[in-house]
Every structure is written in structure tokens, then in C-alpha cells.
Structure 1
């Protein structure tokens, strides 16, 4: 194992630990030690996420409690195990999972459905140091160029989820698109669809500050109640069951409805089956991402005209973690950045 001695002089580090729903504790925890092929990074930027907000409010089956919180990151390698794919001192960007590339889903180019996609994962980005297991380090971690900030590099994971959706949509420049929900994912869909050449994008929602950010990214914005007419593509990003059901009203004949915002487990929705069938409306519900989506998202981030900085609502200290998530619960801000 190689170490930067002046970075890892202590056996403990500061971190945000999710003790239980609604309870985040700023405390000291052991510094992770890499095994063969693993890497440990000094976290340079860790961004908040809607999934983390859900976990904070009500728990999440993939996020253990108590446990160090967070899964979006970028940083600098400070320790490596034998045979690791990076060297001490490398700046990196990555995501929190990687497919096995062996199961039936992976060999069928459906890596997002890998049977063991969450068997090995990166959790604990709200900390000074972070362990990245070998499987992820080899497949879904990449060098971060100097031209890309650590803050924007930390957005690779959520943007990869959006890229998975864009690959399913196969957008065309002439499409008229409605994105419902001006949260981080909805705003990333606006940016990604603009990058794909789509000219007519309407962003609908109720948070006026976030709608203004959508305009900066190239969308026309409207309060949801003022949306009229129909669209070739409707992208639902709220996870609100009533809006899931209403979103079908906005889909044009022959159009597509993308249900991206996840609802609570067990939620049931009602759609007009006659509209779905006789108007030939495609329903798409993309989940997670595969390696192609990760590489697509990274290519967007590296493009000089692709700028997601309007999504950042400010830098925060780890010690203020619980207050940050209370702000997000109230709709204040979009994405906050921790610099542990």
C-alpha cells in the first residue's frame, strides 16, 4: 500500500454518519484502508443528492444505518492497494457502482440491471477520505482533467443516470419536450437534451428559483399549472404519484413518456389505457446506468460548453450536514457541495 504520509497521519477522520432517518451526526470514524486493487481518495468535493435526501427523511434499502453518508464525489488518490489502477496523487472522478459484466443482463447490454450492481458500492463521500473498491475503480473511475473543477466532476453519477435515460429516449432535434420537476435531475435532463440538439424544451414546476436555473440552461420555464398542449416527449422527474398520472395528459399521439422520478415502494398509479394504446404512447422508466452511460456523462462534463455550475447552491461544512438536508427538505437550494 502506498501512502501520502502528510495526508494520512491519523487513523481517524471527520465524517457525516446517518444514524437513523432524520439524524445525521458529525463525528470521527476510522480512516479506510485499501485492500488489493482498492484506492482511497481525499475527497475534494461531495455533492448532495435527491436519493440522499430520501434516505435522510425515511431511510433507504441500499443505504445502511448507521453508516457514513453520501455517494457523489471527486478527489485525489492518497492510498492504493496492490495492483490498483491509479497512483497516489491522481485526481479522479467516478460513480458509486459498477456492473459485474458477467450476468445475463450485463452480456445483454443491460448493465444497469446487473444482478450484483449494488453488491459492491461506494458509500461515505461525506467524509475526509473515501474507499473505492477495486471493481468500481477499474470500471467506473476515471482521471479528472485539470480543466474540470472537482465540483462539476462530482456530478458524474447523477448525470450518468440522466445519460441512461437519454440513451433510451434517443432524442431528435425537432422534438418538443416537456420536463416536469426542476430539481437537480430535471435540470440535468434540460442540459443533456440541449447537448443532444433538442431546441424546444419546456421546464415545468412550482419552485420559481429552480425554474430560473432551467432558463439559464436553455429551457423555457412555466409553473406546472400553466402548462397546456402536448409534447413529443414528457420527462417526469418529481416522483409524485399525482404528477405521474397527470403527465400522460401532456404526451402527444405517438409520443413518449419517461417516468424517471421514483415513487415510494408499493405505490400504484392509474393511467387511461385507451390513450396509451390507441395513441401509441411509449412509456419508458430508465433505472440507474451502465458503463456506456457513465462514459457519455463524462464526455458531456468534459465539453467546454457543458456547464452545470448553475445547479450549485453553495459550499457547506460537514458539521452543518443536518441543517443542509433540512434546507433541501424545504426546497431551499438545488445541490450543496461539501469540501471535507
Structure 2
């Protein structure tokens, strides 16, 4: 873990005011269209991913909102599997060097002219929003929006975060006092799960197998229970995480002890061997959901005769649209929907590299930074 007092020149400041740059990648500028500002400092502490395996805890400029933008004081930023992959081997959607992290909740501290929130508002949100104009958006496939990835916000592992107008107006919401900042920060990963649930269209009588007791697998358990599914089996190798799945309403089994077949199989490991093996667990006429992301360029092999003659549907949900975000928010606001068992403790930003090393070793599920 590297600690410095100033940020090296040339770094990608994803917490800054965003503008469309070369090759459709958003790059920072710093606007001056403030109408309300409670910021008391010009710099902030942040975790910068310099290269795979190299995190720098350092000072970076505080972002200034342009028209319609908001800046929040990050109250909770949670770790996730995508960030772990980026830390270990890089990620095509996470530029380096740059401040990273994309799960958040917080309090508005500065706004630009015409912004949809006011200073002092507690908010919850996600890190992207569809354009609502391209062919995918008008076809109710907002998750495939042509610009949704180019306009996403990274940088939640920092004291302050700028949220551009497009996201602030579409996918940021007031956080009620009844919901903790920690659980509110789970809106983004839960929206990904909600996108999958909408594709699955689960029925109460389904027998479901979820493979992989990581954060996403556990959220699928909670979401499917919320959707009324009665029989959910969670399979994996990490005993502690399987016990969390039981708290959320699943039966748990070591993966090598799973027998029989299921109406729905949800793969959440991103392990190519398990991707291929998961087909064995799908019943005739069933569905196989491939959610865990494998390394770029990975090739998989399936028995095409089994897929065809057993009429097995293969679903690979990606990201989320606005309906999925609203569905996830409705779950979080329900008093009986509790994801607190996923939290493995609060950590300091300065310990960021240690946190990701713990996750690499399977210690913990989700850690919470309170920058």
C-alpha cells in the first residue's frame, strides 16, 4: 500500500467534473457553476488504483459540480467483486490509474445550478444512467444503452464524489432515515441482481440452485425469497458464507454434494469450470443464468445436444436499467428485507490494500469504508 500526500500528475481523476473525451471515455474537468457549497477543503483523501495490485492512498482535488451536478460527502462505500477483480488483474471498464469504487451513499455538500437535490440531502444511488434516446433505450433495453458505460461514475473510495446531472436526475434518490447508509450503498449491486430477476421471472414453485455464496449470490438468495420462491439451495465452498445464506433463507450445501436438477440455476462464481458444470444441474425446460463474470477472452464449452433437446434457456443479464434500480430500491425500503448479514465490518480507506487482500483470501463478504 502506497501512501502519499499529493497526487502524481496525469492521473485519471474520475471524481472530477466529467466531460466526453477521446474514444468515448469520460475525463475530468472542474466546473464553477456552484449555487450551494458546503465544501471546506480543496483536497480529499482517496484510494487510487495505480496498477493491478497497487493501491495508493493519497490526496486528490475535491470535485466541483457543473450545472445540474451534485457532490456528496461519501458516508458509506462498499467493496464488491468487480473492484476486487480490478485490483487483482485490471478491468476493461475501470481505467488505471484512477480513483475507483462504485457503490455509495452519502450527503449532498455542493450542487450546480438546476441540480435536483439540495445541500444537506441524504441520498442513495447508482453509478450510471441510460440516455433514454438510443435504439436500446427506446426498446426497453436500457442496460445496453450505447453510452451507459462511457458515462458511468467511479471514485466512491474517496471523501467526496461528483455525480453528473444525467445520473443525479435519473438514478439518485432520497435516502429515508429508516435505511442505514450502509444498506443504502447496496443499491447498485442489488440493481444488477434485480435485472437478473426481471429476466428470470421467478415463480414460487420453482426449485432454484444458486452457485457461489459471494455478495451477488447472497443477494440473489434474498431477492428470490422476496419474489416468493420457496425452495432455494445455495452451493459453494466457503462455509462462513454458506451460513450467511442460511440466514437469508436458503438451504446450503458444499458444491461437490449437490445432487439432482433444478428449474433454475444461477451461476455467480465467474469460474469457467463451474460455468460449464452448472448445465448439469439444470432440469429439462429449465433456465441457466450465467451471472458471474469470467476473465475477458474466456471460452466455455457446453453440450449443445443437452441445451437443444432439453430446451434449456441460457440467460446472461448485464448491468441494469431504471426499472431494475427502482425494483432494488423498493426491496431495500421493505422492513423485512435485510442485507446486513453481508457486512464484514468497517474499514479505513488507508487500509484499502489490506481489505482487498482479505477479500482475495475469502475473508469477509463486503467491507464498508466510511471516508
| TM-score higher than 0.5 | yes
SS in 1 for 2:297: coil
> C-alpha distance in 2, partners of 1:180/1:276?
19
Give the corresponding residue for 1:278: 309
- 1:79, 1:157 → 2: CA distance? 22
**1:66 to partner: Cα distance:** 1.1
Between 1:161-170 and 1:271-280, the stretch displaced more is 271-280
The partner residue of 1:90 within 107, 121, 131 is 121
Q: Is the 8 A contact 1:2 1:79 kept in 2?
A: no
**CA offsets 1:290-337 (integer angstroms, 9 cap, x no match):** 000000000000000000000000000000000000000000000000
RMSD over equivalenced CA pairs, Å = 1.3
Q: 1:216 aligns with which of 247, 259, 266?
A: 247
Shift of 1:34: 0.3
Number of the residue aligned with 2:287: 256
CA distance in 2, matches of 1:141, 1:135: 10
- Contact between 1:94 and 1:154, CA under 8 Å: does it hold in 2? yes
Map Cα deviations across residues 13-53 of structure 1 (whole Å, 9 max, x no partner): 01111111100111110000000110000000000010000
Give me the whole-angstrom Cα distance separating, in 1, the residues matched to 2:320 and 2:37.
Answer: 37
Q: 1:235 touches 1:260 (CA, 8 Å); kept in 2?
A: yes
Shift of 1:62: 1.4
Instruction: Give the corresponding residue for 2:28.
Output: none
Matches of 1:4 and 1:212 in 2, distance apart? Answer: 49
Q: Post-superposition shift, 1:65?
A: 1.1
- SS across alignment from 1:323: helix
Give the Cα separation in 1 of the matches to 2:188 and 2:213.
Answer: 18
Q: Distance in 2 between matches of 1:5 and 1:198?
A: 47
Question: Relative to structure 2, which stretch is displaced further, 299-308 or 117-126?
Answer: 117-126
* Counterpart contact for 2:182–2:368, Cα < 8 Å: yes
Displacement of 1:6 in angstroms is 9.3
Tell me the distance in 2 between the aligned counterparts of 1:11 and 1:60: 30
How far apart, CA to CA, are the structure 1 residues paired with 2:316 and 2:60?
38
For 1:44 and 1:309, the matched residues in 2 are separated by 16
Question: Does the Cα contact within 8 Å between 1:181 and 1:205 map onto a contact in 2?
Answer: yes
Tell me, which stretches of 5 or more residues in structure 1 are unaligned?
none
CA distance in 2 between partners of 1:188 and 1:19 (Å): 30
| Superposed structure 1 runs of 4+ greater than 4 Å apart | 1-7
CA 1:9–1:125 in structure 2 vs 1: closer, same or farther (change >3 Å)? same
Within the candidate set 129, 143, 154, 2:160 is matched to: 129
Give, in angstroms, the shift of residue 4 of structure 1. Answer: 11
Give the aligned partner of residue 76 of structure 2.
45
Structure 1 position 5, deviation (Å): 9.1
Q: Partners of 2:86 and 2:54 in 1: how far apart? A: 11
